[in-house]
Amino acid sequence: MPASLRPPTQKRGGCTATVGFRHVSGRAAPPPLRHSFSWKGLPLLAALGAWATPSPASAQPEPSASSAVPPGTQRSNTPTSPVVTAHFTRQSNWAPRTAPPPKPRHIPSARATSPVLEAGAPKPASKGQTWFQRLEHFLGQGQHPPEQWNTGTLFAPFPALPEQGEIVIEPYNEFYVPNGAFNARGDHVRSPGQASFTQFWFMQYAVTDRLTVGVYPTWSRSWGNHQKSSSFVFNDLPIDLEYRLTPHYTPSLTAYIGTTVPTGPYKNLSNPADGLGTGSWFLHYALQGELVFPFFSQTVRFHFWAQAYQPLTSARLKGMTAYGTSPGYLGHAHPGWYGNEGMGSEWGITKKWVFALDFYHTWGAGAVLRGRRGNQRLESRSGWNGTLNVGPELEYNWDPNWGVVAGVIVPVMGHNSSASLQPQMAISSVF
Which tops the pLDDT comparison, 219 or 58?
219
In a domain? residue 17: no
Cα→Cα distances 196→174, 192, 229, 396, Å: 8, 13, 9, 26
pLDDT 10s digits, 244-291: 999 887 789 999 999 999 999 999 999 989 999 999 999 999 999 999
In a domain? residue 88: no
Using an 8 Å Cβ cutoff, are 290 and 153 in contact?
no
Those residues whose C-beta lies under 8 Å from the C-beta of residue 290, and which sit 6 or more positions away, are 113, 115, 159, 249, 250, 251, 252, 301, 302, 303, 304
Which tops the pLDDT comparison, 113 or 280?
280
In a domain? residue 162: yes
Residue 74 has pLDDT above 80, yes or no: no
Of 367, 358, 364, 430, nearest to 397 by C-alpha is: 430
Q: What does the alpha-carbon distance between residue 266 and residue 315 come to, in Å, rounded to a whole number?
A: 9
Residue 348 sits in a domain whose CATH number is 2.40.160.40
Residue 123 has pLDDT above 50, yes or no: no
Q: Is 32 exposed, middle or buried (0-12, 13-18, 19+ CB in 10 A)?
A: exposed
In a domain? residue 246: yes
Residue 217 has pLDDT above 80, yes or no: yes
Q: What does the alpha-carbon distance between residue 105 and residue 57 come to, in Å, rounded to a whole number?
A: 60
In a domain? residue 266: yes
Q: Give per-residue burial for 389-399: e unless 16+ CB within 10 Å, then b.
A: bebebebbbee
Output the DSSP codes for 315-355: EEEESS-TTS--TTEEEEEEPPPEEEEEEEEEEESSSSEEE
pLDDT 10s digits, 358-367: 999 999 999 9
Of 150, 146, 144, 115, nearest to 247 by C-alpha is: 115
Strand partners, 282: 260, 311
| The total number of structural domains that make up the chain | 1
Q: Which domain holds residue 391?
A: 131-430
pLDDT 10s digits, 145-182: 677 899 999 999 989 999 999 999 999 999 999 999 99
| pLDDT recorded at residue 249 | 75
Q: What does the alpha-carbon distance between residue 374 and residue 318 come to, in Å, rounded to a whole number?
A: 12
Using an 8 Å Cβ cutoff, are 410 and 377 in contact?
no
Q: Beta strand 181-182 with 188-189: parallel, antiparallel or unpaired? A: antiparallel
pLDDT 10s digits, 77-112: 444 443 333 333 333 333 333 334 333 333 344 333
Q: What does the alpha-carbon distance between residue 97 and residue 218 come to, in Å, rounded to a whole number?
A: 57
- What is the DSSP-derived secondary structure letter of residue 272? G
Q: How many CB atoms lie within 10 A of CB 334?
A: 15
Q: What does the alpha-carbon distance between residue 371 and residue 318 come to, in Å, rounded to a whole number?
A: 9
| pLDDT recorded at residue 296 | 82
Phi, psi of 123 (to 5 degrees): -85, 140
Within 13 Å of residue 331, how many CA atoms lie on the same side as its CB?
24
Residue 129 has pLDDT above 60, yes or no: yes
> Which residue type does 15 have?
C
Using an 8 Å Cβ cutoff, are 193 and 418 in contact?
yes
Residue 122 has pLDDT above 70, yes or no: no
For the chain, how many residues are written?
A: 431
Q: What does the alpha-carbon distance between residue 244 and residue 287 come to, in Å, rounded to a whole number?
A: 10
| pLDDT recorded at residue 251 | 83
Band of residue 192 on the pLDDT scale cut at 50, 70, 90: confident
How remote is the C-alpha of 398 from its chain's centroid?
Answer: 20
In a domain? residue 85: no
* Rg of the chain over all Cα atoms, to the nearest angstrom: 37
Peptide bond connecting 104 to the previous residue in cis, omega within 30 degrees of 0: no
In a domain? residue 114: no
In a domain? residue 410: yes
